[in-house]
Amino acid sequence: MQKKEASKTETKKQIEETKEKQKSAAKEIQKADITKKEKIEEEKPKVEIKQKTAEEKTKAVETKEEAQSAKPAAATKATISAEELAKEFKEHSVAEFFKKNSQMLGLYGKVRTLTTIVHEYCTNSLDACEAAKILPEIDIKIEELGPEYYEVTVKDNGPGLTKETVGKALGKLLAGTKFHRMVQSRGQQGIGASGVTLFSQVTTGKQVKVITGTGKGKTLSLELTIDPKRNEPKIMELKETEKDFRGLAVKAKFKEVLYRVSEQGPLEYLRRTAIANPHAEIYFTDPLGEKTIFKRSLKEIPLPAEPIQPHPKGVTVDELITMAKYSPARKLNSFLKNEFDRMGDKAIGDIAKKVSFDLNKDPKKLEWAEAEEIVKCFKEIDFIAPRVDALRPIGENQIATSLKSIVKPEFLSVITRKPQVYKGGFPFQVEVGVAFGGEAGRITNNNNKEEEKGGSGRTMEIMRFANRAPLLFDGGACAITKAVQTIEWKRYGIISPENAPLTVFINFSSVYVPYTSAGKQAIADEEEIVEELRLALMDAGRKIAHYVMGKRKEKEKQEKKKLFMKYATEVAYAVGELAEKSKEEIEKKLLNIVLKKLKLDEQKEKELEEMGEEEIEKELEKEAKKAEKEKKKGKKGKTKAVNGEEESE
């Protein structure tokens, strides 16, 4: 009992102790809260002061910004004055521009660049030889010095360059004998050869070595570079020798280029040059030392092209005013008569009747509205076509000879159109050669597969030329390619151009070729040019259509003959057994029937030969539609067969 009472007293004491502890903890918490409140009250005025100062600062910034925005915008932006900016204003030479933009000269892509280099030197040699009435002989050699590092040597037998012109011709851009004259030539800007010199200098740091002679005593040898800042040639190591040499020899080194035997390589370029220039003899040595000679097939030098004046049909208002300002004429009527091709007294009389001003006025005072009236009259008057002697086409016989020797076609159609004019008053002429069969067309990669299907293993090849110079690049952007693509070849018996042995040769001749860039690889698709190209292709296509249609009829005739002859003897034997008559007599009668049938077919062929072009085109259209229907039926049959196989499986 005593023990129980003692334990109760202990528990009571413990309870009382815990209660006292809880009370003391609560008092301490109350004290802490009071001290916190006191501190907060003490700090309140300080925080309010800080907030006020921050608000004042932001207000001050806002007032500053408002003040600045209130000022003129020019004053806030003009941190640099116009005078200071003017110090950065600089002029740059043409050479500096093309040094940074060599791709505009066609000098981009390793294979393309090397082909362009050969193109520039080769066209210069051909132009020089023809101008001097010399049959061209050009020797081109390419040596490999290292990976993507080559040396190109070009030598010709032309008139050569003088001491005064050699530097400008090969070391100054936009300098030459062509740009300022309306005369047909391969080059026209005076950029090509100098651009090549600049490219050699930029990629190797080496000088271009030149030897030139006029055949009249002394020969010059020199090394050449370009000063890009001034667009001026820098001549070094100039020497005169007593060697009797006529022509020009250039040796230059190039890096970042590559030689390949391909459709866009130097060898293919020279092959096409030989086709379009049968009077030239070209020697070529490749990096492996293999020599190729393109012998001349014509020993007549083309007549030199004559410079001409612009034709009124193609002149714009701006060009008319520019010409009038710099004309030496004192009267507008004499300016028109002397400065334009095919402008006679009758045409000037017609213009005088239609315009609202006097043609005796000073041409330098011609106003824009008056020039518009004159150009409108030009379009309404029927002028004679531009002078033919200004253009130098290759010629139908020359094109035919070249294509027959290289392409060896079954049939060849060559057309030369009459000269026309495009915008700017520039006359042009189109020549087209369409070769079918033989080695015409380009060999496809799936050659064997095509032959197994009954195809030719060849596809259409387009050879583009401008003033006899091959155009190997930028075909998609060229007016020639676009014109070829617009032709419905099915109308001319070519059911599938993709699988046809067809070579289309087109040469565009003009005193000014509207190239799309300084690289001179694509002709701009001017409306007049594309239309004339289309008409020439359609003319050549009609002749091809006649041949293709005749060939197809002959094939059908031979197949019929074989079929009749095959079964004639069998039918004669069977009929003789049934009728109990002589088999030989029955066979003779059957053969006579076959011959009569074939004679009727021959008469139909003669009628076809006498048919007009439109009737032939209609016949070809019918045949093309039949062929398409047969193809569709064949495809449906195949799909049904495939579906049947799937069902059976």
Between 14 and 295, the more confident residue is: 295
Q: What are phi and psi of 454, to 5 degrees?
A: 95, 5
Residue 519, pLDDT score: 76
Q: How many CA atoms lie within 13 Å of 16's alpha carbon, on the beta-carbon side?
A: 6
Last residue of a domain, one of 352, 380, 408: 380
pLDDT digits (tens, 9 = 90+) for 442-479: 887 655 454 444 455 788 899 999 998 999 998 889 99
Task: Show the DSSP H helices in 527-612 as ranges.
Answer: 527-579, 583-610
pLDDT digits (tens, 9 = 90+) for 52-79: 555 555 555 455 555 555 554 444 455 8
Please count the structural domains in the chain.
5
136 closest CA partner among 282, 325, 332, 245: 282
Domain membership flag for residue 449: yes
Owning domain of residue 60: 2-73
Last residue of a domain, one of 341, 357, 380: 380
Q: Are residues 398 and 427 in the same domain?
A: yes
- Is 4's pLDDT higher than 90? no
> How far is residue 131's CA from residue 119's CA, in Å, rounded to a whole number?
18
Q: Are residues 109 and 69 in the same domain?
A: no
Please report, for the domain that includes residue 361, its CATH number. 1.10.8.50
Last residue of a domain, one of 544, 559, 578: 544
Amino acid of residue 391: L
pTM beyond 0.85: the answer is: no
Domain membership flag for residue 346: yes
Token duo for residue 195: 């651009």
Q: Are residues 159 and 271 in the same domain?
A: yes
HEC string of 113-181 equals: HHHHHHHHHHHHHHHHHHHCCCCCEEEEEEEEEECCEEEEEEEECCCCCCCCCHHHHHHCCCCCCCCCC
Residues 489 and 483: beta-carbon distance below 8 Å: no
**Mean pLDDT calculated for residue range 299-316:** 82
What stretches of 123-218 adopt beta strand conformation (E)?
137-146, 149-156, 208-214
> How far is residue 575's CA from residue 30's CA, in Å, rounded to a whole number?
138
Q: How many other C-beta atoms can be found within 10 angstroms of the C-beta atom of residue 309?
A: 17
Q: What are phi and psi of 441, to 5 degrees?
A: 85, 175
Least reliable range by pLDDT among 277-281, 325-329, 437-441, 517-521: 517-521
- Is 183's pLDDT higher than 50? yes
Q: Are residues 114 and 260 in the same domain?
A: yes
Q: Are residues 373 and 408 in the same domain?
A: no
Residues 98 and 173: beta-carbon distance below 8 Å: yes
Token duo for residue 4: 């129980």
Residue whose entry in the numeric block shows the structure tokens 């060697």: 243
54-58 long-range Cβ contacts below 8 angstroms, 24+ apart: none
HEC string of 385-451 equals: CCCHHHCCCCCHHHHHHHHHHHCCCCEEEEEECCCEEECCCEEEEEEEEEEECCCCCEECCCHHHHH
Q: Are residues 214 and 272 in the same domain?
A: yes
Q: Are residues 104 and 245 in the same domain?
A: yes
> How far is residue 440's CA from residue 459's CA, in Å, rounded to a whole number?
9
For residue 423, CA distances in Å to 420, 468, 536, 612 come to 10, 22, 19, 35
Q: Are residues 408 and 536 in the same domain?
A: yes
pLDDT digits (tens, 9 = 90+) for 233-290: 899 999 988 888 899 999 999 999 999 999 899 999 999 999 899 899 999 999 999 9
Rg of the chain (C-alpha set): 43
What percent of the chain stands above pLDDT 90?
35
Q: Are residues 587 and 574 in the same domain?
A: yes
Q: Are residues 140 and 289 in the same domain?
A: yes
Q: Is 395 exposed, middle or buried (0-12, 13-18, 19+ CB in 10 A)?
A: middle
Residues 152 and 118: beta-carbon distance below 8 Å: yes
Please give the angle made by the CA atoms of 135, 139 and 143, to the nearest 5 degrees.
170
Q: Are residues 203 and 58 in the same domain?
A: no
Q: Is 12 exposed, middle or buried (0-12, 13-18, 19+ CB in 10 A)?
A: exposed
